[in-house]
């Protein structure tokens, strides 16, 4: 039997005359954890469904287990050997059925013999730690549990190939790490082959091999290390005063440059790190450079660099028309939440949330799906009355001046709230009309929005026909049409490609720094949190941390130590010996390990004892590490006090 | 066909229906509720028509004339109106639907054996009701005239008034209504309501049940496994047919016990024949569900393809024979008409398979065609 499990040659799939994927070649071998990485609309789902034999295709050939999939009958031949977990958290599971009933249904559907099914069920529920909740209806599970249950149901008939479509989207980082660890165990233990897609670039390092997809074609293929080598370079991260002029100088030289809160991060196609440092220092001559680090490039940087050539001219203009009421004192509070609580029946969606956002500040509300972010925003914008607590938004009381608040704020929702069958200009005019702008003001704002969002040339396109990135900027423009002083952005970047996300953050940065707009942004991309000036981490309806990204990292540094990456051939096997040696914070990271420790000397000693000679490499702590650290602490506390969250 | 898979799917489906409060209501409560709402709301009998009288004569004869109406069970007296303007207002406001205007000198004119005219104002906003009302008015008026003539004849000839009446009506019309002796509309309506409700409920449940899986993505469990199309469809639809079977009994009990409709036929024929009809309408739901992708679309399409034939082309309101030529052909193509024959035959006529085998065969053929089409169009490897 051949070792090639999936072979696509010239694969193409079209919907209504438009190709979602075109001319795609790839091969997946037995035992691989193969990743498909790309934003919404890159063609990941189409390929995965076609591989599973549940979607017909128009172009090229697709062979799975050596079987050519060209008809419904031929596709049937492979279905006994595959497991498919489609996109959407728990969407393929049955909400009214309990965990056990869901698993049993899948087992019976797959004709697994009774004893074998019972044994596998117990084994899988034990691995995923779901056994204790077996009688709980699926709809009452958390996102992370739904996703693990989906995995159990996909694996119950012992398939040889599993196809998981975005299994980690919208799941909190702790559950995500847990999921990857379980998947790695299963693949190693059961000789599985897995085809997994993700929109999170930071998960890419977990794959054996992968393809980067963009707009229906393949940008690169290979192991994470191979892809990193495609565009050699490094990252320079610095903190310079004044930030805005430093930014202008650096962007002129290295366009792949972004602001992250008070810091600037740029990618430089210069693999020699000391040389890179010198070049940046030269450019920043005369400015006050407070801190400067040179780091290895991450996959996302490489991805953006590869796309760089394809970038369409949509960068924001340098200067923006200032809103009507400029220059409010930066100490003025734009948003203030005091003890906000929202209950739906017995369910506490938001429990006692307090925070403050100053004018000109980007405030990030972070958390997984279901953590309570959207509910909090809805209360502050006056859409949902709070069960208790109070708040002030744009100088007005949230409870008494709902209408006043609505006229002073901009709100961009998860779904972008555009009218997809109206054109770009019609959408903007509609919003201008809703906010009561007169004709003259409207035309001024129209021009401003077209400039800001880079929509020139698309004025008469239907919103539905715009790529996600442009659609998102149009939605932002519509939210800004009445020049609000406070802007609420609810998951504004979900589903948008890294390039689009960067351009978007660039605009937000300018809005806050130049125009003094206060922003409350929610996101489940932990990497985006770095763009914020101040963060609140939400977990199960509560704010579990409230500080600047730097402060949060400092705190983790103080509590758990520096982050080190350990490279070893058998990294996964080192987890338990390291934990036994007293290193509490060890987690697999792709083919390497991440360890948090204050004592690198001892780590190196222990590693040498385990036969690992290569010294661990210090890494800057990412927001995801902060979140995992915080939540793990909380869970440990609640276990210690005996109360189960 | 592997029975274990069929049972697995049917069992899963059943649990979901029973645990989902909305679906459960839709399955078991809504059909009975429709029976009650339609039954009380759609009665076609015209009784207790509110009316007023403008009496410009105020004589014994005029009062006598008015009492003919006041005593009738078809009319409900709402009082005397001052003049025609008041009367028009009463009709306009909907307080009354008929006004009788008795002219001055009415009694005297009659006594002189000259013809008198009574003006009748009828609210014509519902034509069929207005026609029925006019019929009642005409009949009561004719009876009054006849009595007046009979009185005059008995005066002149010395015959008793009854004999005079008999002489005046040489041909008496004796009508006997077969199958529905009291011509009560609920008797004919309730069986037809069973037809309408079983035309709506099974396709709705089926279409929503299947499309729900498509919409939320759990259909991929079916697509991606070795379950055959036949196994899936049988397992998926069986619970809905079972629910509808329970509803057949429920609706039959409501018709017989609540509306007191006599059931003259045989349950041994009626129940299996109704099951064939339910299979047929379930097939409509199946066909809709393979063609649409969202639950909203499923609802709208099902509504259009079931409601219109069930109400317009079934004989519910307009008898099939009264339909225009085109509509008549359309009715022949719809299953509702055939089941109307069966249900009315079973309830009111007491006929069975001998006279109803033809519509039953058509329904069975219909069911087979719908299921065959649904099976063919359902693909485990669609292109979207």
**B322-378 per-position pLDDT tens digit:** 888 888 888 888 899 999 999 999 998 888 888 899 999 999 999 999 999 999 999
CB pairs under 8 A between A and B: 92
Nearest to A56 among B15, B218, B382 (CB): B382
**A169 and A251, same domain (yes or no):** no
Q: Is A65's pLDDT higher than 90? A: yes
Beta-strand relationship, B49-55 and B75-80: parallel
Tell me whether residues A54 and B384 touch, CB distance under 8 A.
Answer: no
CA count, 13 A, side-chain hemisphere, A142: 19
> What average pLDDT does range A208-212 have in this prediction?
91
Whether A151 is in a domain gets the answer: yes
Domains and CATH numbers, chain B: 3-42+184-377 (no CATH), 49-168 (3.40.1710.10)
Whether A92 is in a domain gets the answer: yes
For residue A266, give the 3-state DSSP assignment: strand
Going from the C-alpha of A607 to that of each of A469, A570, A584, A585, A610, the distances in angstroms are 45, 12, 15, 15, 5
Confidence of residue A316 (pLDDT cuts 50, 70, 90): very low
Q: Kindly list the residues from chain B whose CB atom is less than 8 angstroms away from the CB atom of residue A146.
A: none
Parent domain of A423: 333-543
- The span from the CA of A280 to the CA of A74, in Å, is 59
**A390 and A255, same domain (yes or no):** no
Main-chain phi, psi angles of A29, to 5 degrees:
-100, 160
For residue A612, give the 3-state DSSP assignment: coil
Q: Which of A22-31, A142-151, A517-526, A622-631 has the highest mean pLDDT?
A: A22-31
Contact status of A140 with chain B (Cβ, < 8 Å)? no
Beta-strand relationship, A486-490 and A409-412: parallel
**A168 and A259, same domain (yes or no):** no
Residue A2 is predicted with a pLDDT of 60
Cβ-contact A224, A48 below 8 angstroms: no
Write out residues 76-105 of A within 8 Å (CB-CB) of B.
Answer: 76, 79-80, 82-84, 86-88, 91-94, 96-97, 101, 105
* Residue at token pair 């602490």: A633
Residue B5 is predicted with a pLDDT of 94
Of A298 and A563, more confident: A563
Residue A644 is predicted with a pLDDT of 41
Nearest to A93 among B8, B218, B227 (CB): B218
Residue B195 is predicted with a pLDDT of 93
Confidence of residue A330 (pLDDT cuts 50, 70, 90): low
> What average pLDDT does range B187-211 have in this prediction?
92
For A59, other C-beta atoms within 10 Å of its C-beta total: 15
Residue A590 is predicted with a pLDDT of 66
Q: Kindly list the residues from chain B whose CB atom is less than 8 angstroms away from the CB atom of residue A96.
A: 15-16, 19-20
A282: CATH: 3.30.70.270
- The span from the CA of B165 to the CA of B147, in Å, is 7
Whether A292 is in a domain gets the answer: yes
Q: How many domains would you assign to chain A?
A: 4
Whether A313 is in a domain gets the answer: no
Q: What is the DSSP string of B9-24?
A: HHHHHHHHHHH-HHHH
Rg (CA), chain A: 25
Of A100 and A494, more confident: A100
Nearest to B382 among A55, A88, A93 (CB): A55
A78 φ/ψ sector (left φ>0, alpha ψ -120 to 50, else beta): alpha
Contact status of A108 with chain B (Cβ, < 8 Å)? yes
Token pair belonging to A32: 């691989």
**A222 and A237, same domain (yes or no):** no
Write out residues 217-236 of B within 8 Å (CB-CB) of A.
Answer: 217-218, 220-227
| Nearest one of A189, A204, A154, A202 to A572, comparing CA atoms | A189
**A493 and A608, same domain (yes or no):** no
Q: Is A642's pLDDT higher than 70? A: no
**A285 and A171, same domain (yes or no):** no
Whether A307 is in a domain gets the answer: no
**A90 and A135, same domain (yes or no):** yes
For residue A469, give the 3-state DSSP assignment: helix
User: Measured between alpha carbons, how far apart are the two ends of chain B, in Å?
Assistant: 27
Tell me whether residues B224 and A54 touch, CB distance under 8 A.
Answer: yes
| Nearest one of A555, A577, A564, A572 to A633, comparing CA atoms | A555
Contact status of B7 with chain A (Cβ, < 8 Å)? yes
**A470-488 per-position pLDDT tens digit:** 888 899 999 999 999 899 9
**A150 and A28, same domain (yes or no):** yes
Tell me whether residues B221 and A92 touch, CB distance under 8 A.
Answer: yes
A32: CATH: 3.40.50.300
**A222 and A255, same domain (yes or no):** no
Q: Which of A509, A543, A577 is the last residue of a domain?
A: A543
How buried is A609 (Cβ within 10 angstroms: 0-12 exposed, 13-18 middle, 19+ buried)?
exposed
Beta-strand relationship, A388-393 and A396-397: antiparallel
Cβ-contact A435, A482 below 8 angstroms: yes
Residue B183 is predicted with a pLDDT of 58
Q: Which of A526, A543, A560 is the last residue of a domain?
A: A543
**A597-626 per-position pLDDT tens digit:** 998 899 999 999 888 888 888 888 888 888
Q: Is B29's pLDDT higher than 60? A: yes
The whole-chain average pLDDT of chain B stands at 88
Q: Is A310's pLDDT higher than 60? A: no
Q: Residue A367's Cα: distance from chain center in Å?
A: 11
Cβ-contact A561, A599 below 8 angstroms: yes
Q: Is A322's pLDDT higher than 60? A: no
**A163 and A264, same domain (yes or no):** no
Tell me whether residues B381 and A56 touch, CB distance under 8 A.
Answer: yes
Contact status of B22 with chain A (Cβ, < 8 Å)? no
* Type and span of the H or E element at B32: helix B30-41
Token pair belonging to B337: 């008409």
For chain B, percent of residues with pLDDT exceeding 90: 47
**B53-84 per-position pLDDT tens digit:** 999 988 988 998 999 898 888 889 988 988 88
Whether A322 is in a domain gets the answer: no
- The span from the CA of A201 to the CA of A38, in Å, is 8
**B126-170 per-position pLDDT tens digit:** 777 788 888 888 888 888 888 888 888 888 888 788 888 787 777
- The span from the CA of A519 to the CA of A528, in Å, is 14
- The span from the CA of A55 to the CA of A51, in Å, is 8
Q: Is A447's pLDDT higher than 60? A: yes
Residue B182 is predicted with a pLDDT of 57
Q: Is A318's pLDDT higher than 70? A: no
Cβ-contact A196, A213 below 8 angstroms: no
Token pair belonging to B273: 């024949």
Contact status of A70 with chain B (Cβ, < 8 Å)? no
Residue B45 is predicted with a pLDDT of 65
Beta strand ranges found along A91-172 (DSSP E): 161-164
Whether A310 is in a domain gets the answer: no
- Please give the residue of chain A at the shortest CA–CA distance from B19: A96
Residue B4 is predicted with a pLDDT of 92
**A74-107 per-position pLDDT tens digit:** 999 999 999 999 988 788 899 999 999 999 999 9
The alpha-carbon gap from A70 to the nearest alpha carbon of chain B, in Å, equals 10
**A1-47 per-position pLDDT tens digit:** 468 999 999 999 998 888 889 999 999 999 899 999 887 778 899 99
Collect all residues with Cβ–Cβ distance below 8 Å to A316 and sequence separation of at least 6. Answer: A451, A452, A453, A454, A503, A506, A507, A510
> What average pLDDT does range A334-341 have in this prediction?
90
Q: What is the DSSP string of B205-252?
A: HHHHHHHHHHHHSTHHHHHTSS--HHHHHHHHHHHHHHHHHHHHHHHH
Q: Residue B337's Cα: distance from chain center in Å?
A: 13
- The span from the CA of B9 to the CA of B232, in Å, is 7
Please state at what angle helix B127-157 crosses helix B161-168, rounded to 10 degrees.
120
Contact status of A19 with chain B (Cβ, < 8 Å)? no
Q: Is A312's pLDDT higher than 60? A: no
Main-chain phi, psi angles of A331, to 5 degrees:
-85, -10
- The span from the CA of A64 to the CA of A75, in Å, is 9
Whether A302 is in a domain gets the answer: no
**A555 and A427, same domain (yes or no):** no
For chain A, percent of residues with pLDDT exceeding 90: 30
For chain A, percent of residues with pLDDT exceeding 70: 94
Going from the C-alpha of A541 to that of each of A347, A348, A371, A537, the distances in angstroms are 10, 7, 5, 10
User: Measured between alpha carbons, how far apart are the two ends of chain A, in Å?
Assistant: 49
A166 φ/ψ sector (left φ>0, alpha ψ -120 to 50, else beta): left
Residue B148 is predicted with a pLDDT of 83
**A340-391 per-position pLDDT tens digit:** 998 888 878 888 889 999 998 999 988 777 778 888 888 888 888 889 998 8
- Please give the residue of chain A at the shortest CA–CA distance from B380: A54
The alpha-carbon gap from B305 to the nearest alpha carbon of chain A, in Å, equals 27
Nearest to A54 among B19, B216, B223 (CB): B223
Cα diameter, chain A:
76
**A110 and A236, same domain (yes or no):** no
Residue B339 is predicted with a pLDDT of 94
Q: Which of A543, A567, A599 is the last residue of a domain?
A: A543
């Amino acid at each position: 039997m051949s070792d090639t499990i999936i072979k696509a040659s010239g694969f193409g799939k079209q919907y209504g005359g438009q190709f979602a994927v075109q001319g795609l070649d790839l091969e997946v071998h037995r035992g691989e954890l193969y990743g498909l990485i790309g934003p919404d609309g890159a063609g990941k789902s189409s390929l995965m469904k076609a591989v599973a034999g549940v979607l017909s295709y128009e172009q090229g050939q697709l062979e799975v287990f050596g079987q050519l999939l060209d008809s419904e009958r031929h596709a049937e031949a492979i279905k006994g050997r595959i497991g498919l977990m489609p996109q959407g958290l728990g969407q393929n599971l049955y909400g009214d059925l309990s965990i056990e009933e869901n698993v049993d249904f899948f087992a019976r559907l797959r004709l697994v013999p009774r004893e074998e099914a019972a044994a596998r069920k117990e084994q899988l529920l034990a691995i995923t730690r779901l056994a204790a909740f077996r009688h709980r209806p699926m709809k009452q599970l958390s996102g992370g549990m739904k996703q693990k249950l989906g995995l159990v149901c996909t694996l119950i008939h012992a398939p040889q190939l599993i196809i998981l479509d975005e299994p980690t989207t919208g799941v909190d980082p702790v559950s995500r790490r847990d999921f990857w660890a379980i998947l790695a165990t299963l693949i190693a233990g059961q000789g599985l082959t897995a085809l997994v897609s993700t929109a999170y670039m930071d998960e890419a390092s977990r794959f054996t091999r992968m393809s980067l997809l963009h707009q229906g074609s393949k940008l690169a293929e290979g192991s994470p290390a191979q892809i990193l080598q495609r565009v050699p370079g490094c990252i320079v991260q610095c903190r310079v005063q004044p930030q805005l002029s430093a930014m202008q100088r650096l962007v002129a030289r290295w366009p792949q440059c972004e602001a992250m809160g008070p810091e600037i991060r740029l990618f430089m196609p210069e693999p020699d790190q000391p040389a890179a440092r010198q070049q940046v220092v030269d450019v920043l001559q005369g400015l006050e450079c407070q801190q400067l680090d040179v780091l290895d490039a991450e996959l996302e940087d490489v991805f953006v660099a590869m796309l760089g050539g394809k970038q369409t001219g949509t960068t924001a203009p340098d200067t923006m028309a200032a809103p009507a009421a400029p220059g409010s004192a930066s100490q003025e509070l734009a948003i203030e939440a005091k003890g906000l609580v929202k209950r739906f029946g017995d369910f506490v969606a938001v429990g006692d949330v307090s925070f403050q956002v100053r004018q000109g500040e980007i405030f990030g509300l972070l958390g997984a799906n279901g953590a309570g972010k959207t509910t909090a925003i809805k209360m502050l914008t006056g859409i949902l009355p709070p069960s208790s607590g109070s708040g002030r938004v744009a100088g007005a009381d949230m409870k008494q001046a709902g209408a006043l608040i609505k006229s002073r704020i901009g709100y961009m929702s998860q779904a972008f709230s555009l009218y997809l069958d109206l054109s770009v200009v019609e959408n903007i005019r509609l919003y201008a009309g809703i906010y009561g702008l007169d004709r003259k003001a409207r035309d001024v704002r129209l021009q401003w929005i077209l400039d800001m969002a880079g929509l020139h040339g698309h004025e008469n396109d239907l919103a539905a026909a715009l790529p996600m990135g442009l659609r998102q900027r149009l939605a932002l423009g519509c939210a800004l049409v009445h020049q609000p002083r406070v802007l609420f952005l609810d998951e504004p970047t979900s589903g948008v490609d890294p390039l689009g996300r960067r351009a978007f953050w660039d605009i937000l940065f300018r809005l806050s720094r130049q125009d003094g707009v206060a922003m409350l942004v929610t996101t489940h991309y932990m990497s985006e949190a770095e763009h914020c000036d101040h963060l609140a981490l939400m977990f199960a309806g509560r704010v579990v941390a409230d500080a600047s990204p730097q402060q949060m990292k400092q705190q983790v540094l103080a509590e758990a130590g520096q982050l080190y990456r350990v490279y070893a051939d058998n990294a996964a096997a080192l987890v338990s010996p390291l934990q036994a040696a007293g290193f509490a914070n060890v987690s697999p990271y792709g083919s390497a390990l991440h360890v948090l420790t204050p004592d690198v000397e001892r780590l190196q000693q222990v590693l040498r004892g385990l036969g690992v000679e290569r010294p661990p490499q210090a890494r800057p702590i990412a927001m995801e590490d902060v979140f995992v650290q915080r939540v793990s602490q909380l869970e440990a506390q609640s276990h210690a006090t005996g109360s189960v969250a | 066909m592997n029975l274990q898979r069929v049972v697995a799917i049917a069992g899963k489906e059943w649990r979901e229906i029973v645990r989902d409060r909305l679906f459960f209501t839709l399955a078991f409560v809504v059909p009975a509720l429709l029976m009650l709402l339609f039954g009380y709301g759609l009665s076609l009998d015209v009784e207790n028509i509110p009316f007023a009288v403008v009496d410009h004569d105020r004589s014994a004869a005029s009062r006598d004339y008015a009492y003919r109406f006041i005593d009738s069970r078809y009319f409900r007296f709402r009082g005397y109106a001052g003049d025609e303007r008041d009367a028009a207002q009463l009709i306009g406001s909907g307080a009354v639907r008929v006004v009788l205007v008795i002219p001055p000198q009415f009694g005297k004119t009659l006594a002189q054996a000259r013809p008198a005219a009574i003006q009748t104002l009828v609210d014509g906003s519902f034509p069929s009701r207005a026609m029925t009302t006019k019929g009642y008015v005409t009949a009561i008026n004719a009876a009054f005239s006849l009595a007046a003539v009979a009185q005059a004849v008995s005066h002149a000839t010395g015959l008793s008034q009854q004999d005079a009446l008999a002489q005046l009506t040489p041909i008496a019309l004796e009508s006997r209504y077969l199958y529905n002796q009291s011509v009560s509309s609920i008797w004919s309506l309730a069986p037809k309501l069973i037809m309408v409700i079983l035309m709506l409920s099974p396709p709705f449940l089926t279409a929503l049940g299947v499309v729900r899986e498509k919409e939320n993505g759990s259909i991929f469990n079916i697509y991606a496994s070795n379950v055959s199309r036949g196994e899936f469809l049988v397992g998926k639809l069986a619970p809905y047919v079972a629910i509808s079977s329970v509803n057949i009994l429920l609706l039959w009990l409501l018709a017989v016990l609540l509306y007191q409709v006599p059931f003259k036929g045989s349950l041994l024929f009626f129940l299996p024949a109704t099951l064939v009809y339910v299979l047929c309408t379930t097939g409509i739901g199946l066909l809709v569900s393979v063609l649409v992708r969202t639950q909203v679309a499923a609802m709208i399409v099902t509504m259009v393809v079931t409601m219109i034939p069930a109400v317009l082309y079934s004989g519910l309101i307009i008898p099939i024979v009264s339909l225009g030529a085109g509509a008549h052909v359309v009715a022949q193509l719809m299953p509702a008409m055939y089941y109307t024959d069966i249900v009315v035959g079973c309830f009111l006529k007491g006929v069975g398979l001998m006279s109803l085998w033809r519509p039953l065969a058509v329904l069975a053929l219909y069911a087979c065609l719908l299921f065959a089409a649904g099976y063919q169009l359902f693909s485990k490897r669609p292109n979207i």
